[in-house]
Amino acid sequence: MAYGPKIIDHYENPRNVGNFGTQEQMKSDTRIGVGLVGAPECGDVMQLSIKVDPATGRIQDAKFKTFGCGSAIASSSLATEWLKGKTLDEGLAIRNTQIVEELALPPVKIHCSVLAEDAIKAAISDYRAKNGLPAETQAAAH
């Protein structure tokens, strides 16, 4: 399958690869939210981690690790770029269709963008659960 230039760019130069310490360290740090979605037997696993500034409530930093095809890697790389600087509600407003559009994902790869959206939601909800915040604020509800 021939990929578009943006997928290839994110695949070859992935942004923000990594995490904020080991699984244990991330679990105990209240500034960190981690979303782990997908399953190895499905061929895609994304781990998206966010670090939130408690003073401003904005996402200071975002990192990813992905087991998956080029589109899965590119989708998660793009998601980390978009998350940085956003509030949690703004992060939750990111839709998979925007990822599809930005990367020009082919139809068989749409599930990669869905997984990236799921990863964003999972990371934010992990952060909120850790800090005793409600799952979703009124502004982001729709």
Residues near another protein (CB under 8 A): 1, 3, 11, 14, 17, 19, 22-23, 36-47, 65-70, 72-73, 108, 111, 114-115, 118, 122
CB of 18 to another protein, least distance (A): 9
Query: Is-contact 103 78, C-beta < 8 A?
Result: yes
For 30, the token pair is 């209240």
The owner of tokens 């990822």 is 99
Residue (of 75, 56, 85, 57) closest to 9 by Cα position: 75
3-state secondary structure of 126: helix
112 a catalytic residue: yes
CB of 32 to another protein, least distance (A): 15
Residue (of 11, 17, 32) closest to 74 by Cα position: 11
Which residue, 9 or 90, is less far from another protein as judged by CB? 9
Point out the catalytic residue in the list 42, 104, 135, 139.
Answer: 42
Which residue, 12 or 53, is less far from another protein as judged by CB? 12
Residues with active-site annotation: 42, 112
